[in-house]
């Protein structure tokens, strides 16, 4: 049995990751400063992983085979910039440092599609759909901290024996949010669909938390077969919009008019083709089937 430690296990993404791992037969260790980690975790430990000593204590106590690092200040501007940057970058470094130090073989780090820079005035994608080769241009502390986390992951991929990768999950929708619970933005999914300007800032990206969790599970299994230090987008197969982005996206961001023309039908602005090609993964769930399911 694989022992897998999940940081941020009580979060909207973490809960689904813990469930997917447990159902797949992993012995799951949940680590989170917040209450509410699911009971399917084999053990739950509240710990401040920004403290290197505590992080070493956690890794030394459980000595997992794999680590999934999700813990972070999860949204831009929810805390001060300095706090967000310090916490997210320190978490990424401490988890990689301590995990590799105790011999963890596989490590997956959660990043964010915000590293490409959307959301600021004047930003325009270099091309659509966006994939892992798209230039990065973080403009706030959160997106910068996630890019640093990717660089930390890459550094340890080059300098240790562990196999590492990063995942950029699009706007994560937890199962209860399909039924009307507030999303991480504070809006409901229905509001994001009814008011395109809300989801338009992030180019209408989203991913069901269960689909993203299945990507993490698949990635953990496939890591030994991959080049070390890979980065993957995790996107739904469609956009969180009621009309094609070819027409809708230019109304939100006029500079995308020519670029968006190729996004026919319900096609999203983000591509998960790399995950399909290297991992055999594709998202199964859509807002069209999950709302009211």
The C-alpha atoms of residue 263 and residue 119 are separated, in whole angstroms, by 20
* Closest by Cα among 166, 186, 164, 167 to 177: 186
145: Cβ–Cβ under 8 A, 6 or more apart, which residues?
72, 73, 84, 85, 87, 88, 89
- pLDDT, one tens digit for every residue, the chain (293 residues): 899 999 999 999 999 999 999 999 999 999 998 765 455 566 788 999 999 999 999 999 999 999 999 999 998 999 999 999 999 999 999 999 999 999 999 999 999 999 999 988 889 999 999 999 999 999 999 999 999 999 999 999 999 999 999 999 999 999 999 999 999 999 999 999 999 999 999 999 999 999 999 999 999 999 999 999 999 999 999 999 999 999 999 999 888 989 999 999 999 999 999 999 999 999 999 999 999 64
Q: Hey, where are the domains in the chain?
A: 3-180+205-239+269-284
The helix or strand, by DSSP H or E, that contains position 68, with its residue range, turns out to be strand 66-69
Residues contacting 113, CB < 8 A, separation 6+: 130, 168, 169, 170, 202, 205, 233, 235, 270
- Specify the DSSP class assigned to residue 28: E
What confidence score (pLDDT) does residue 44 get?
Answer: 80
**Best CATH choice for the domain 3-180+205-239+269-284 from the list 3.60.15.10, 1.10.1040.10, 3.50.50.60, 3.40.50.720:** 3.40.50.720
Look at the chain and count its residues: 293
Tokens of 51: 């403290």
Give the integer Cα–Cα distance in Å for 237 and 34. Answer: 32
Whether the link from the prior residue into 169 is cis, omega within 30° of 0, is: no
Q: Which DSSP letter does residue 237 get?
A: S
Q: What is the pLDDT of residue 34?
A: 78
């Amino acid at each position: 049995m694989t022992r897998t430690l999940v940081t941020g296990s009580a979060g909207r993404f973490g809960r689904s990751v813990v469930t997917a791992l447990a159902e797949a037969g992993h012995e799951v260790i949940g680590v989170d400063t917040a209450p509410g980690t699911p009971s399917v975790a084999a053990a739950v430990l509240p710990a401040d992983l920004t403290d290197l000593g505590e992080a070493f204590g956690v890794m030394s106590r459980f000595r997992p085979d794999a680590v999934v690092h999700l813990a972070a200040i999860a949204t831009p501007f929810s805390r001060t910039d300095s706090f967000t940057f310090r916490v997210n970058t320190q978490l990424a470094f401490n988890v990689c440092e301590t995990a590799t130090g105790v011999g963890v073989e596989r490590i997956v780090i959660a990043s964010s599609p915000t590293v490409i820079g959307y959301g600021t005035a004047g930003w325009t994608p270099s091309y659509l759909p966006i994939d892992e080769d798209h230039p990065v241009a973080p403009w706030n502390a959160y997106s910068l901290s996630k890019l640093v986390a990717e660089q930390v992951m890459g550094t340890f991929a080059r300098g240790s024996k562990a196999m590492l990768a990063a995942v950029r999950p699009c706007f994560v929708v937890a199962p209860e949010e399909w039924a009307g619970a507030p999303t991480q933005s504070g809006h409901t999914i229905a509001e994001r669909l009814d008011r395109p300007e809300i989801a338009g800032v992030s180019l209408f990206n989203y991913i069901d938390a269960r689909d993203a969790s299945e990507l993490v599970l698949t990635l953990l299994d496939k890591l030994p077969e991959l080049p070390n230090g890979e980065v993957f987008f995790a996107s739904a197969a469609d956009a969180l919009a009621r009309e094609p982005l070819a027409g809708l996206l230019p109304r939100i961001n006029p500079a995308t008019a020519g670029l968006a023309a190729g996004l026919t039908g319900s096609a999203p602005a983000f591509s998960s083709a790399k995950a399909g090609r290297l991992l055999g993964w594709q998202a199964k769930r859509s807002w069209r089937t999950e709302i009211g399911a």
